[in-house]
Amino acid sequence: MTNRILYAVVFILLMASYRKDARKTKTALKKAWKSFENILPQFLGVIILVGILLSVLNPQIIGAIIGGQSGLMGTVISAVIGAITLIPGFVAFPTAALLFENGAGLVQIAAFISSLMMVGVVTIPIESQFFGRKLTFWRNISAFIFSFVVAYIMGRVLGT
């Protein structure tokens, strides 16, 4: 759905741009291709890495480790799993809901969701191409720590 909107918007912009200045539009497309080609090898590698990780870490395994009674250890494990996996949101939220219904703890789920969305260990090769290793490292570390802050506050606010 969001994809369709994105495509429609880009198509309209592209047409408008072409009508206004065909040469500029051509330059824009050339730049688009060049920057894509630059990053393609990292993308391909990351995709395969994600495939391997997701096949090894299935929801049953994740659920068994991060139950409601798993405490700090479970929270750490959830945050680590969230950090290394790269699950699209429309898969992650229902999975999280399912885990939650099956006894996973709120704090653990919050840590998992938060680090899943903000930390990207497998995309570090891509990120550091853009921002350099140091900034990439610190951005991911601070986001990882922040996941615990989120989990803690959510446990305090929403926990029974």
Least distance from C-beta 60 to another protein, angstroms?
Answer: 13
- Other Cβ atoms closer than 10 A to 59: 15
- Cα separation, 125 vs 46, whole angstroms: 8
For another protein, the binding residues in 10-39 under the rule CB under 8 A are: 10, 13-14, 17, 24-25, 27-36, 38-39
Find all residues with CB under 8 Å of 102, minimum gap 6, and list them.
63
Using the minimum distance from each CB to another protein, give the nearer residue, 69 or 101: 101
Give the alpha-carbon dihedral of 88, 148, 106, 67, to 10 degrees: 90
Smallest gap from residue 110 Cβ to another protein (A)? 7
Are the CB atoms for 83 and 116 separated by under 8 Å?
A: yes
Residue 104 backbone phi and psi in degrees, to 5: -70, 145
- SS3 state of residue 104: strand
Q: Measured from the CB of residue 88, what is the shortest distance to another protein in angstroms?
A: 7
Contact segment (CB under 8 A) with another protein among 7-15, 59-67, 75-83 equals 7-15
Residue 157 interacting with another protein (CB under 8 A): yes
CB of 123 to another protein, least distance (A): 5
Interacting residues of 113 by C-beta distance below 8 A, sequence separation 6+: 82, 92, 93, 96
Q: Enumerate residues 40-99 that contact another protein by CB under 8 A.
A: 41-52, 54-56, 86, 88-90, 93-94, 96-97
Shortest Å, Cβ 64 to another protein? 17
Residues 112-141 binding another protein (CB under 8 A) are 113-114, 117-118, 120, 123, 125-127, 129-132, 134-135, 138-139
